[in-house]
Amino acid sequence: MKWIKRNDSDTHYEDRRGKSMKRGAIGGIGGLIVVVIALLLGQNPLEMLNLVGAGAEQGTEVYDSSRANENEDLKIFSLGVFNSANDVWSEIFREQLGKEYRKPVFVTFTDQTRSECGGASAETGPFYCQLDEKVYIDLSFFHVLSQRFKAPGDLAMAYVTAHEVGHHVQKLLGTLDQLNQYLGRISEVEYNKLNVKLELQADFFAGLWAHQAQKMGIILLEPGDLESAIQAAEAIGDDRLQKQAQGYTSPDSFTHGTSAQRMYWFNKGYQTGDIRMSDTFNDPSLN
Ligand SMILES: [Zn+2]
Q: Report CA(65)–ligand 1 centroid distance (Å).
A: 31
Three-state SS for 107-133 is EEECCEEEECCEEEEHHHCCEEECCCC
Q: Rounded to the nearest 10 degrees, how much is the dihedral formed by the CA atoms of 123, 229, 215, 42?
A: -20
Question: What is the DSSP annotation of 153-211?
Answer: SHHHHHHHHHHHHHHHHHHHTTHHHHHHTTTTTS-HHHHHHHHHHHHHHHHHHHHHHHH
> Which amino acid is present at 122?
A
Name the packing angle between helices 154-172 and 225-235 (round to 10°).
60
Q: Report CA(69)–ligand 1 centroid distance (Å).
A: 27
Q: Report CA(213)–ligand 1 centroid distance (Å).
A: 20
CB 25, CB 55: distance < 8 Å: yes
Span 222-238, average pLDDT = 81
Taking alpha carbons only, the member of 165, 184, 182, 183 closest to residue 173 is: 165
Taking alpha carbons only, the member of 139, 132, 81 closest to residue 105 is: 132
Q: Report CA(72)–ligand 1 centroid distance (Å).
A: 24
For the segment 182-225, what is each residue's pLDDT rounded down to a tens digit? 888 999 888 889 989 999 999 999 999 999 999 999 999 998 89
Tell me the backbone φ, ψ of residue 240, rounded to 5 degrees: -65, -45
Q: Where are the domains of the chain?
A: 2-272
Q: CA 55 to CA 121: how far, in whole Å?
A: 9
Question: What is the model's pTM?
Answer: 0.84
Q: Report CA(125)–ligand 1 centroid distance (Å).
A: 10
Q: Report CA(66)–ligand 1 centroid distance (Å).
A: 31
Q: Report CA(120)–ligand 1 centroid distance (Å).
A: 15
Residue 187 φ/ψ region, left for φ over 0, alpha for ψ in the -120 to 50 degree band, beta for the rest: beta
H/E segment holding residue 272: helix 259-272
> In the 8-state DSSP scheme, what is residue 2?
E
pLDDT band at 247 (very low <50, low <70, confident <90, very high): low
Q: CA 94 to CA 184: how far, in whole Å?
A: 35
Q: CA 251 to CA 229: how far, in whole Å?
A: 24
Q: Report CA(256)–ligand 1 centroid distance (Å).
A: 7
Q: Report CA(170)–ligand 1 centroid distance (Å).
A: 11
Lowest mean pLDDT among 44-53, 150-159, 172-181, 253-262: 44-53
Label the pairing between strands 112-115 and 219-220.
unpaired
Question: What is the DSSP annotation of 14-82?
Answer: EEETTEEEPTTSB--S-HHHHHHHHHSSSB-HHHHHHTTTSBSSS--EEE-GGGTTTTHHHHHHHHHHH
Q: Report CA(128)–ligand 1 centroid distance (Å).
A: 8
pLDDT band at 6 (very low <50, low <70, confident <90, very high): very high
For the segment 88-118, what is each residue's pLDDT rounded down to a tens digit? 999 999 999 999 999 999 999 998 888 898 8
pLDDT above 70: percentage of residues in the chain:
78
Residue 105 φ/ψ region, left for φ over 0, alpha for ψ in the -120 to 50 degree band, beta for the rest: beta
CB 32, CB 124: distance < 8 Å: no
